[in-house]
Structure 1
Amino acid sequence: MGRRSALLATAGAVALLTTAGTLTTPAPATATTTASAPTRTAAACGEGSYQAEAVRSGGTWTARRGGTVVHTGGDMRAAVQAAVNSLTAGRTAKERVVVRGSGTVSAGSRISLPSYTVLDVCGTIDVTGSGSGDQAPVYSRGTRDVEVQHLNVTGRPLYGIFMRNVHNVVLGRIDMRLSSGLGVRIDNRGDTSQWTRNVRIDDVYVSGASSHAVETYGVDGITIGTVTARNVGESGLLLNQTINATVTRVDADGAGTGTGYAAFRMANRNGRIGSGYPTNIRVGEVIARGGGRGVFCVSESGGAVIDRVNISDTGNNSVLIENCHNVTLAAHSGSVTGGGGIRLAARSEFANNSDITVQNLTVTNTSVRESPCGTNTTFRNITLVNSSQSVC
């Protein structure tokens, strides 16, 4: 018996012995899983306890809750949704669905996750066809305490993950190798009077998207580990009107080629709290190779500290800070090589830059320019190598 067959046989045996509807697959002693707390992303996909599963065997998907089959058929989306729908109605603690197998889902459809749901996809969702609106293979709206532990997506989704007006969201290890669409979108645009709150994203890889790898809008409280973007059409990570954000690393190669988008972009009053810009956006490192811009702050955004930058050969500005406030670039160290220069600028419809610090940089084969002069701008500890500087 193969490893996967043995695993399914074990799950079936447990299902016959339990009356609570909770299935368990073998896990190392160091891995722990509970219904109400995020699972460690280091755990292998499918390990630990779960309440329902959707399993592919040949061309047939079977969804089970405990020992009860709730769906059989050839449609992956229908099977996964049936497994999700079989969880306890009105629950106030997380219950988990494990998906075992790969399949196709239409770009015009969704797997909808209600509150207190954990989804762990051990396989690949390939998105085919066309759709419109906010369709996504993984979708949640107006919910709380939703977790996606593992997810692999290929194909042409409108969005890989779409979440709107949600609270307490965890995304674990997300891998999207796309032909179009946007990777992860989390926002509050259904009811802009309410923030989306308390979001955690551990590790996201997106390639081939025609839009952004990861985008937020209207989020208060987000912690991001690593966003890796490869040859996406627009930004690697775009934060719009998002406050209280911590990002460990943005690593982008070819993000926004031929556009004004950037490996890391802040826009639409990102980081603005009330009428001020206290430091509340903290980024450990931005890596940008090629693409459009490296770092772009625009439209009354700010309150940001970026510790390290490593930017080279961008097609547009390496860094553009435009109508922003209280931004520190390279608080610890950084390098900017080739490509477009570092530029501080302003549009007439917004207040000019203020309290911008650019420091601790080695700038090679490009330029540093400020025009018009901002308020309380600081340039310090900048080493120019075959580069020019024109600042106020």
Structure 2
Amino acid sequence: MAPTSQRRPRLLAAGVAALSVVVSLLAAPGVAAAPSGTASDSAVAGAASRSTTAAAAQAAACGDGADALVTGSQSSGFTTTYRGRTVYQGEYYVTAIWEGIGALTPGRTSQEKVSVMASAWIGNNTIDLPSNTAFEVCGTMDVGNVSGRGAIQAVGVRNVSIPNLNMTGAPYFGMRFADVHGLHLGQINLRMSGGLGIRFERDLPGSTDVRMDNVYVSGTGNHGVETWNVDGLRIGTVTARNVAYAGLLLNNTRNATIGTVDGENVGTGTGYATFRMANTNGPGITVDRVRSRGGARGVFCVSNSRGARINNVDLANNGNNSILIENCSDITIGGGTVNGGGEVRLAARSEFPNNRNINITLRVDNTSVRESPCGENTNWYLSGNGSRNIC
């Protein structure tokens, strides 16, 4: 049966694959220089050089070791091979991908890999990844919208990896996961024009042992990355640009180690944040750094979330609260700066327990700090010119 919506007025050019790799490297998370005052020039240059080298090596390796390969273009058609044997030739990009996944060894106990070298539109369709599968898109996959589903998804499976992905479009979810155990997302580049970037489902069984190396997400009409019910999460970097809601949102997620969350123009006009924890999130959350510019909030903890430490923040000109901690416990912000934008606020609603065991070390300039109502065992270590109304 032909895939749904196989034709589209705007088709990607055959040269998009090579261009997308260059763009991904230029915009790779961590490559841009840090804001002035956050590190020495030599340290920033060294970090940028290392990150660029790592991203280049990753991009260069895309397609290496593939068991199944998808090649071709919209104009010439697509070919899928499995270990040198042709398993599909035809006009449908998504069918070529499905046939590549279907050609992998049934009942396998270790990963086999599908590498999509071609660029095109998959239509309003979904790519489901079975257990013991590595799947990557070295070209650019443009995606449609299937209600409640991901353009790429893995549900109820084990040992799945997506080493490289370039995606555009306005899907319902770009990537959707639930009940997945042993998931690795490598260099993920989501340049959306709507939808939600990466979603771990709320109402399905939870996931364990999830790793994301570097996620770049822009242009969503919803969150950039949203997790529910994950136990054991490791993230290198989430870079969010011009996303409508949160950059990285953790819900009911435990035992997470996160490097950097970097947001610009995230959640503008909303109550969301570059980094948000909600819905009894935690414990066991460690974040090395949150950077936020403009948009809505920088950091937001809410709804009985607990047990988190953010080592450093660099927040400036956020349009809502720079930091809002509301009905949370055992939360530490270990250092950093807030400059301008909305106030740093500790607050509470009546439906959850009050804030408890909050420790904040922070330089605050050109905005205010307020605690209302008073929490239980709040410890402030403040500097800077920001006004203070604290307990």
With structure 2 as the length reference, what TM-score do the two structures score? 0.83
Q: Of 178, 183, 190, which aligns to 1:176?
A: 190
| Partner SS for 1:80 | helix
Matched, 1:127 2:143: yes
Cα deviation for residue 186 of structure 1 reads 2.2
Higher share of residues assigned helix: 2
* Alignment deviations for residues 227-272 of structure 1 (CA, whole Å, 9 cap, x no partner): 0000100001000000000000000001100000000000000004
1:296-311 residue pairs with structure 2 within 5 A? 296-311=300-315
Change (3 A) 1:302 1:168: same
Contact 1:165–1:189, Cα closer than 8 Å, also in 2 = no
Matched, 1:238 2:249: yes
C-alpha distance in 1 between matches for 2:137 and 2:318? 36
Cα deviation for residue 346 of structure 1 reads 0.4
* Alignment deviations for residues 340-371 of structure 1 (CA, whole Å, 9 cap, x no partner): 10000000011000000011x21111011101
Q: Of 154, 163, 170, which aligns to 2:168?
A: 154
Contact 1:266–1:297, Cα closer than 8 Å, also in 2 = yes
Show the counterpart of 2:32. Answer: none
Cα deviation for residue 188 of structure 1 reads 5.7
Larger Rg: 1
C-alpha distance in 2 between matches for 1:260 and 1:315? 10
Show the counterpart of 1:12. Answer: none
| Partner SS for 1:377 | strand
Show the counterpart of 1:209. Answer: 220
Show the counterpart of 1:72. Answer: 89
Contact 1:54–1:63, Cα closer than 8 Å, also in 2 = yes
Q: Of 318, 321, 332, which aligns to 1:317?
A: 321
Show the counterpart of 2:296. Answer: 292
Cα deviation for residue 126 of structure 1 reads 1.1
Contact 1:260–1:316, Cα closer than 8 Å, also in 2 = yes
| Partner SS for 1:82 | helix
Show the counterpart of 1:113. Answer: 129
Show the counterpart of 1:379. Answer: 380
- Which AA in structure 1 matches 2:275? F
* Alignment deviations for residues 63-102 of structure 1 (CA, whole Å, 9 cap, x no partner): 1112322112222111111101100001110001111110
Change (3 A) 1:188 1:340: closer
C-alpha distance in 1 between matches for 2:247 and 2:59? 26
- Which AA in structure 2 matches 1:240? N
Change (3 A) 1:45 1:209: farther
- Which AA in structure 1 matches 2:387? S
Q: Of 316, 336, 352, which aligns to 1:350?
A: 352
C-alpha distance in 2 between matches for 1:266 and 1:219? 13
Show the counterpart of 2:389. Answer: 390
Identity of aligned pairs, percent? 48
| Partner SS for 1:132 | coil
Contact 2:369–2:389, Cα closer than 8 Å, also in 1 = yes
| Partner SS for 1:77 | helix
Cα deviation for residue 59 of structure 1 reads 3.0
Mark the runs of 5 or more structure 2 residues left unpaired by the alignment: 1-14, 16-55
C-alpha distance in 2 between matches for 1:55 and 1:306? 44
- Which AA in structure 1 matches 2:303? S
**Greater Cα offset, 45-54 or 96-105:** 45-54
Contact 1:166–1:188, Cα closer than 8 Å, also in 2 = no
Name the Cα RMSD after superposition.
1.7
Contact 1:118–1:147, Cα closer than 8 Å, also in 2 = yes
- Which AA in structure 2 matches 1:372? P
Give the aligned length: 337
Cα deviation for residue 384 of structure 1 reads 2.5
- Which AA in structure 2 matches 1:123? G
Show the counterpart of 1:37. Answer: none
Show the counterpart of 1:51. Answer: 67
With structure 1 as the length reference, what TM-score do the two structures score? 0.83
